Amino acid sequence: MLLTKWLPIVLCFSVGVSAAESYHFASINLLAEQEVGRIVIPQLYQKIGITVSITPLPGKRAEYAAVNRHLDGEIMRIYSYGEENPTMVRVPTPYYYLETMPYVLKNRNLQIHNRDALYRFSIAKVRGVKHTNNITAGMTDVHDFDSTAEIMRMVAKGFVDVALTNTLDGMLVLRALEMDMVVPSGKPLERLALFHYIHQDHKELVPRIDSVITNSIASGELAEMITAAEKQVIAKGAERHTH
């Protein structure tokens, strides 16, 4: 009798849980801008009652997992990612940005004001990151590493001339490494908008989350989310890069 009494409640609870809408996205590991996205994207989805989980992966693995439907998309990529991967649907409104910044040894005083100047130097970049892949396309003295900490160490030791990464990412890693001999070289070479991408199997989700992003921009709430997220990432001191 007791079981019969509680069974409808249990069944209703089970149906409610199973019916909850959720998605699983990839991010690129060990990059500061992606860590900001890992904080912001779940907050945006909460506004429409959707739960998301995010798995950080190396860049190429993140792309493979999303394109091959192992995951539902990626939280943050540049515009050209969608051109290269037609099965991925770009959420039209960008929600963050990155800068492509050259980092060099302070005492060499190298001046790198544009892309063409990079041809003269040996370059280190993080494997699988689109904006540094794109800007070094056609260059021959380019070397891939697994993390921003590694490319900064390559510059510090004189093995390469330039490390290319996002400005925020580079500054956090240098602070964590207590490395003051490597500095940005002038201004960023590019400033690129960052978009959320969803696999075409879930394309009906795109206008829903795009509406949330546009409304959050209009209200000023997205700017507040990003500022708070950046503070969280900075407060961590990029500890993951020091190991």
Say whether both 117 and 137 belong to one domain: yes
Q: How far is CA 33 from CA 9, 92, 227, in A?
A: 44, 19, 12
Residue 116 is given by DSSP the state: G
- pLDDT value, residue 234: 86
Name the pTM for this structure: 0.83
Residue 90's beta-bridge partner residues? 197
Say whether both 167 and 133 belong to one domain: yes
Q: Which residue range(s) make up the domain with 42?
A: 15-96+195-242
Say whether both 209 and 169 belong to one domain: no
Q: Tell me the C-alpha distance between 143 and 122, whole Å.
A: 8
Q: Give DSSP secondary structure letters for 55-98.
A: EEE-HHHHHHHHHTTSSSEEEEE-HHHHHH-TTEEEPSS--EEE
- What's the rounded mean pLDDT across residues 162-170? 95
- Given a cut of 70, is residue 242 above it in pLDDT? no
The structural domain count of the chain equals 2
Say whether both 172 and 209 belong to one domain: no
Say whether both 171 and 231 belong to one domain: no
Say whether both 185 and 201 belong to one domain: no
- 189-235 pLDDT, tens digit per residue, is 999 999 999 999 999 999 999 999 999 999 999 999 999 999 999 88
Q: Tell me the C-alpha distance between 57 and 69, whole Å.
A: 15
CATH of residue 149: 3.40.190.10
Q: Which tokens in the block code for residue 84?
A: 């290269």
Q: In this structure, is residue 117 part of a structural domain?
A: yes
